[in-house]
Structure 1
Amino acid sequence: MTETPGRPLDEGTLRALVPRVLAGLVRRGEDFDSAEDALQEALVEALRVWPDHPPRDPRAWLTTVATRRLVDARRSAGARDRREEATVVAPVPGPTEEGDDTLVLLFCCCSPDLSPASQVALTLRAVGGLTTREIADAFYVPEATMAQRISRAKRDLRGRRLDQPGDLAVVLRVLYLVYTTGHSGRTDLAVEAIRLTRQLTLATAEPEARGLLALMLLNHARRGARWDAEGRIVTLDVQDRSLWDTREIAEGVRVLQSALAAQSPGRYQIEAAIAALHDDATTADETDWPQILAWYDDLVALSDEPLRQDPAAVLGRAVAVGHVQGAGAGLRETDRLSRVLGDRHRWYAVRGYLFELDGDLSAAAAAYADAANRATNTAERDHLVRQAVRIRAAEAGPTIRSVRPARS
C-alpha cells in the first residue's frame, strides 16, 4: 500500500496496518508480546512523525521502526548476536506475503495453550485490530477485565517461538466464535470473521474450512432483515426475505457444494446445509423441514454426548421434529432434554414455540416468560418478553401470527 506524500493517514488505514505488521514480525519468529510492545512504540512514533512527513509505504515504515525497537530492547538486555544483526536488515514482508502473515498470526492467537475466551480476545486484538475497549464492549465486560484477559494470554505465550503451525480445528472454532459475536449485533466482527475464514480456505483443502465459510455466508446473508427499525429482533419466519443478500446466499451454496463434494461432512458443513435449506425457502411455509430434520440427525450423531456437547443442535432438532411429526412429538423431545437443558432459556423458548404450534397458548406464554427471565442478552430477553405479551393478547382475541423464536 502506498500513500501520497503530504497526505495524512486516516485512523482506519492505520488500524488495518497494525495486524499486518504484527503478523509479519511474528512470522519471522519474534516473541508475540515483545513484537506487540515494539509495534506500539512504532505507532507512537508514527503519530508524531506522519502528520508532517507521511511515508510512501506505511507498512514498511512501521515494520522497520518496530524491528529497530526489538533490536534495541535485545541490546539493552545484553542479547545481541548474529541472528539479531540479521534481523536489522531482514526484508520487509511484501504484499504477496501478507495473507500468509495474517494466517500465521491467527494460528498463534489460537494456541491450544490458551483458554477459548483468551483465544478469541487475542484474535480480535491482534488479527482483527480492535481496541481493548471495543472487544470488552463486544463481550459486555468491563474494559479492565478484558485488558487482564489479553495480558494473561500474552503472558502465557511469552518466550515461545510462534512460527509453527497450529491446530486447524481450534482456529475454525475461534473464527466461528468471532463470527457469532458479530452476528449478535456487531456486524464488523462478523465481516472480519468471514474475511479471515475466506483467506483460510485459500491455504487449506480441509472441507470443514469451506463449510465454516459457507455457514457464515448463508447466515450473514440475512443480516439486513434480522433487526427492525427500532433494533428489535426479527425471527426467521417473519423476516422480509426480499432484504436477504441473494448473491451472498449463492456464494454460500457454491462453497458448501464444493465442501460436500469431498464426502467428509463435519459440523460446519452440516450446519451450513441446514442454513441453506432455510435460505432456499421463498416463504417460511415452504421450508423443507424433512430435509432439515435429516441433517439435524446427522449433526447430533457427531457428538458422543450431544445433550452436553451440542445443546443447540438437540434443541434445533426438537423444533424440526415438531414441524415434521407434529408439535406434540417436538414437545416430547424437549421433555427428554429437560434434565440437562431445563435450566436454559433456549429450552423454554423452544417449548414456547412448540406449545404455540400445538395451540396451547397459555402454556406458550408461560414458557416464553420463563425464557425471558433466564435470558442474559438484553435484546433476546426483550424479544421473549414481547412473545409472552403477544401470546397473552392472542388468548383474549383473534390469533396473531406465530413468530418463531428458535432461529434468526
Structure 2
Amino acid sequence: MKQLLFEDDAQFWFETQRMFGHISYGGAEFGEVVVTASRIEPGDYDSWHDAWLSTAERLAGEAATAHPISARDAYLRASTYYRAAEFFLHGNPDDPRIDYAYDRSVECFHRVVESLPGVEPVEIPYDGQVLHGYFYRAPGAGPRPLLVMHNGFDGSSEELHFFGAAAGQERGYHVLAFDGPGQPSAIHHSGLVFRTDWEHVVGQVLDFALADPGVDPAKVALLGVSMGGVLAPRAAAFEPRLAAVVAVDGVFDAAGSVVGMLPWDREEIVRRANAAEDPEFDALLAGGKAENPVLRWATGHGRYVMGAATDREFLAKYFEYHLDGGVAERITCPVLVCEATDDLFFNGDAETPSEPRRLYERLTGPKTLLSFTTEEGADAHCHVGAQRLATARIYDWLDDTL
C-alpha cells in the first residue's frame, strides 16, 4: 500500500497502518488516528509518545463517565492508543513512561473484557510463574475447537483481539490468547525474555488449555503473528497435540529482516555479532540506525525483549530464531503459511525468496500458502490494513482443516 503518512519513516507509517487496521474490530477510529498522527514530528519518539498518550487519556476520561456501551467502545480505542504511546520507548527500559502507558492500556482492555460475554483474563502456570492472557469462550454446549494465539516481536495478547480472537469466538471457536516470554506482560513485569525453544512455552499453555472440559483435544490449533510466524511452527515441530498451525506471516529465519539492512551475508553478521569486540561493526550499526528507522527501532526494542546489553548482543541472540537444521521438516500437522506481498520486514528480492516462501518450501507435510496482495489492500506485514479479510480466510482454512 502506498505510504500516505510519514513518507521518510517506514516504521512510523507501519505502526500507523497497524492502528488503521484495528478499526475493523473497534480498536481505533479513522479520524482519531489521522488527527493524532498529524501532531507527530517524523522520527521523534517523544513526539509519538506525547500525541498518542494525549488521545488515549482523553478517551479514557470520556469512558469513565460514559454509558456502558459507549464506555466499552472508548476504552477499547484508548487501550490501543496507550499501547501505541509506549511502543518506541523501549531503547531505555528505565523510562517511567513505558510502564505507565502499558499498564493503562491493559487496564482499559480489562474494562472492555468485563462487558464482553464469554471473555475473561487468565493466568497460565509457567515455570513457577504465570503467563497472562485471555480466554474467549464460544457460545453453546459441547466441546469446541480451540485456537491458541500468540503475538510476535512486539505485539500484545490484548492486540490479538483484533488479529483473530474476537473473530474466532463468533465463529464457534474457543480462543486462548496469551503473552509468552519476551512479549508485553511477561517482559514488562516479570522480566521474562524471549527463548528459542518455544515448544517449552506452548507445551505448558496446552496443559492449561486442555484441562478445560469444553475444549475438543483433537481440534487444537496454534497461530503466531509476525515473529510468531517462526515461533509457532517451531513449537509445532515438537508438540504432537497440535492439529494445525498458522503462521501470520510465515518466517523461516527471523534474521532475514535484518540481513538486508547490513552489508554482509548472514554468516559474516553472525560471526561479527558474537565477537567479543568489533568497533567496525558497532560503528556500522550506529550509522545504520541514523539512516534506517526500522533498524533504529528494532535494535532498541530488541535489546529490551531479548535481554541484551548491546545491539550486537541482540543480533547474536536474534539470529538464533530460525527453522533450519531439520526443524521445519519435523512438522507433521497441516500448516497455513500466510504471505504479505509488500511486507516491510520479511520480503525477499530477486535472488532470495520471501520468508513465507522459504518456510513453505521447507515444509514436508500438508501445507497451504495464502498470499495477500496490493489489490486487496492486504499486502502490509500481517495484513494490518485488511484484518477482516485475513481472519475470514484463516478461519475458513481452519474450518476445512479441523
Please report the TM-score for the alignment, with normalisation by the length of structure 2: 0.31
Please report the TM-score for the alignment, with normalisation by the length of structure 1: 0.31
- Between 1 and 2, higher relative CO (CA 8 Å, sep ≥ 6) is seen in 2
